[in-house]
Amino acid sequence: MTSVSPAAENAGITYASAGVDVEAGDRAVELMKGAIKATHNSSVIGGVGGFAGLYDVSKLLTYKKPLLATSTDGVGTKVAIAQAMDIHDTIGFDLVGMVVDDIVVVGAEPLFMTDYIACGKVVPERIADIVRGIAAACSVAGTALVGGETAEHPGLLGEHEYDVAGAATGVIEADQLLGPDRVRAGDVVIGMASSGLHSNGYSLVRRVINHAGWALDRQVSELGRTLGEELLEPTRVYAADCLDLARTFPVNSGQGVNGFSHVTGGGLAANLARVLPQGLVATVDRATWELPAIFKLVSELGNVPLADLERTLNLGVGMVAIVSPQAADAAVARLNERGLPSWVMGTVSADSDAIDKTGPDYVQGAKGVDGGAVRLVNAYA
């Protein structure tokens, strides 16, 4: 039996001895302040450290019927890669991308965001790196980071473990709202390239890598860098590009953007089906793009069936726009001019009994939405 000295017994139990370092949390806030403030605009009221973030929404008075859009998400098991590599300043892009790019799907401008970090032990420099990444991604999206929380959970999370989550709020004029009711037969489906795996399917990817016995520092010729560097590639943030496209080709013009689909968990077909109305089917031609090397690698290393890849990973397409046929060529040109590789990948038509609806190449409805359908055809280029 372990003996306890009288001195130790009399000292009592403190918050610090229980594993929570309040001073470390304060130091982390000081280290991240500058990055957070860099995302602020004239609408942000107050500074860092308040109980609530304040955002002046006076501009909503100019709207006829403003609708608020909100979204929340996390990064998933990709954080395990960041922790294993001890690189924490990129994971913020994954968090912001997962949140704000869900908001722009309806055409809404993401106004502000908050974050939450739970960790086993507050290491100020590590927490500051995470928040700097979140702030940098918010700047790319044009979104203010107005608040957040760092919670130390000793005994629940390991000393070097953490998880991140966030939420954002945006606004859209009611008559500019994008969605299934805007999509028509004849519309064109445009694919926007992903930057890699983004932040979905890492449970599958990590299982494949572990099964193959590959280390994160392994140099992979097909990738042109180490495996870890590829797996940690930040999620591309599409918000600014999508908003620019929607404003350049407005929905009410009859020759504009009618919808977006953010390709996250569930893959391309399932997420695209969510933004189509019943009775329409989008036919997507796989031959219009080549699978990036990382997806081929996962497929080969794990002998993963194509159907499983397609319903788990983005396979090179991170966002989709559905536009009227008159705007298709100009929309693709606009996205490419902004440095976002994009291409026409399919068309929307009326569903019919002539279409083969058996097998994994046909997906109708997904994630609780009983909407339209997506049909994948041909082989990847």
* pLDDT (mean) for 216-229: 97
Contact 28, 150 (CB under 8 A): yes
* pLDDT (mean) for 160-189: 96
Measured CA to CA, the distance from residue 271 to residue 267 in angstroms comes to 6
Residue 9 in this model has a pLDDT that exceeds 70: no
Buried b (16+ CB within 10 A) or exposed e, 37-68: eebbeeebeeebeeeebebeeeeeeeeeeebe
Instruction: Give bridge partners of residue 173 from the DSSP assignment.
Output: 66
The neighbour count for residue 304, using CB atoms within 10 Å, is 18
Distances in Å between the alpha carbon of 30 and those of 26, 88, 336? 6, 17, 39
- The CATH number of the structural domain formed by 18-46+64-176 is 3.30.1330.10
pLDDT digits (tens, 9 = 90+) for 29-66: 776 677 777 778 888 887 776 778 888 899 899 999 99
The neighbour count for residue 83, using CB atoms within 10 Å, is 16
Residue type at position 380: Y
- In a 10 Å sphere around its CB, with 0-12 CB exposed, 13-18 middle and 19+ buried, how is residue 23 labelled? exposed
Instruction: Give bridge partners of residue 281 from the DSSP assignment.
Output: 349, 373
The yes or no reply on domain 180-377 and CATH 1.10.150.170 is no
Residue listed under structure tokens 């930040």: 234
- What whole-number percentage of the chain has pLDDT above 70? 92
pLDDT digits (tens, 9 = 90+) for 117-146: 999 988 889 999 999 999 999 999 999 999
Write the CB contacts of 105 (distance below 8 Å, at least 6 apart in sequence): 178, 259, 260, 261, 262, 275
Q: Which of 92, 97, 93 is nearest to 110 (CA)?
A: 97
* pLDDT (mean) for 325-343: 98
pLDDT at residue number 35: 73
Measured CA to CA, the distance from residue 49 to residue 51 in angstroms comes to 7
Residue 1 in this model has a pLDDT that exceeds 50: no
pLDDT at residue number 45: 83
pLDDT at residue number 333: 98
Residue listed under structure tokens 């590599």: 85
pLDDT digits (tens, 9 = 90+) for 341-356: 999 999 999 998 878 8
Measured CA to CA, the distance from residue 378 to residue 381 in angstroms comes to 9
Helices 239-248 and 328-337: crossing angle in degrees, nearest 10, is 140
Residue listed under structure tokens 């993963």: 304
Domain definitions of the chain by residue range: 18-46+64-176, 180-377
The neighbour count for residue 86, using CB atoms within 10 Å, is 9
Average pLDDT taken over every residue of the chain: 91
Strand intervals (E) in the chain: 44-45, 54-55, 66-74, 109-119, 144-152, 162-173, 188-193, 219-220, 225-226, 257-262, 280-285, 317-323, 342-350, 362-366, 369-377
370 pLDDT band, cuts 50/70/90, is confident
